[in-house]
Chain A
């Protein structure tokens, strides 16, 4: 298709998401959408520059993929490095400290997304004035809600701090275990506010639920499409965000595969390369690139699990599944509701863990016989996160393959962008800011962490720029 007669609109940067992305829209002379794409415009190159590093460094190093969910990368890498270190099962203290860290991460990240990034769309409307359509606007108009959001996120960050050493880029998990336990003083400080956090979590599920139900006609269509769903579940089918086996279902809930040991992920998942994004497009191998793509994250996890093992979240899950008669829910906007079900589940898990005396145990690290290759997976806030490493006899990493949560959602986000562009922009005489924000609302539902997703090496058409000591550009050469 030649785009010479087409009009180009670019949303750049995509805001109120974590990271760097842009949307390009091509419209014909009647403003009909010809093409709508989400481009990932950054690359950083982690998979390559990890090579050569000592394996014990990796759980700390890969956190820098992401400042929003560093814990997820930290733990996925640590799980892989446990295997490299020859440890199949951690001590109860180590396993539970890591779980506490992970649920703290889930709690803060979901709070961040809901209150700081997406609530302005839900509270003020998708085409509200951009001057107020942000967390500051929320703080001014709904101060109580804003404070609640800030305090919930803070609580999650405090949990990360006491388990990982600091709030962002901590060092808690090490191959074979953990480097600290939870002191009684730390535990008691967290227990002081736990009931308040549970109450606020129940309240915020209600906000997300009421929003969806009040706007159910919109939710049924807004960026909505059928898809497969992927994630992992415990052996008994329960939601488990820290560890489990892979399960994939189709749009109707039929299982594509189930209880797959994730170390065999190469038999199931591949990633397609397209020339217009640095982010690859994963799909299920047996189905193929056309129809094998899938969604991950809160919506998929609630869709695929058989039950949630904490009572308040399970009650909410049942209510959620009832609106689609137990079948998977394929509404993009339903991500928000399920994300809040997970926030409730996470705080219930945190409460359970804080009351567990194993966290004061002193047996922190195990050792075993060194191995050469390992896969570590975790359910990060945004979905299933794959880390795969090979390590040589000199303890140096020789191969790293990362499929981050947001990469798994690449085709779904593009499908949502295309859908919303067709539904809301196509044929309009004027494309307003508010209309363009509709596209961002659809992207935001996935809580994309474009920061993580930029890890992959892109093609690097080279620009060499030469600067003088004052920082002035004196020469620039580009090479395709």
Chain B
């Protein structure tokens, strides 16, 4: 039996042309890491993640309450979050996963990770992906021969045998951790019809994203105390990138919710159906280098890699900040809209991930 509250998520359908046919993946050669390429950008973005609802990435370890906090009853159990020196951490891998899944949905990218089958009435049911949308999985040999094409997300975030060209550092919480009750969540039901565009054939119809809610739910019959970062705390991290084109850098910024016309928050960590893990991203600093040819308009604000590699001591500040940074980001985002972004998908996703929101977290069965 389903509960009556609306579903906490929505499926973003795969991109289609005007007559309703699926668009093919926009495959191209990955840039590679063997050199810094001309007319590409390499650098680092400082990320501030503002916590709006309780957020945690669990360590997988459960301890006795008395071991981590005096206020928790001695014999009660607490699920711990990943932390370092008592500061909570969002591992780079979690942040990357969250941004990547957005990027996949708003570009013509493969279905990167999906379960192969599920059991129904003791029968294995095979799950199918639409024609041509299977995960890019280049062979090692093809990578060596530089003879490989990948979808937009795999080009940037990496694929099997092919390293990505962006990397997310661990983000570290600047405030004290808290402990709150988190109700138990049910596993998604893979047989639910609304996951499929062709129910009879078990062909999946889109990518699942949870809505943001005004609050997260911390009560219920079953559940466990959990270590987490409360709203209004903040995590600090960074993102390193190598050899991104304008459109790729713009696409990454859009996926981080930085498009002024499509601002949204990320969902990270555990408890997404009950409103947890809502984070907005602030970017106030970017270090950026290029090896551009003549006539490139950003030559005067973006330093040249040749200068980096002909001197040992670098100028004090290579950071782009303030208005120049804003303009630069908008330039990149415009390029992404021209070359990369699927507008209907971005529009729908921005609606699901809209923040702030007035949706209240659903109660009852999750």
Q: Do A and B bind each other?
A: no
Q: Which residues of A pack against B, CB within 8 Å?
A: none
User: Chain B interface (Cβ within 8 Å of chain A)?
Assistant: none
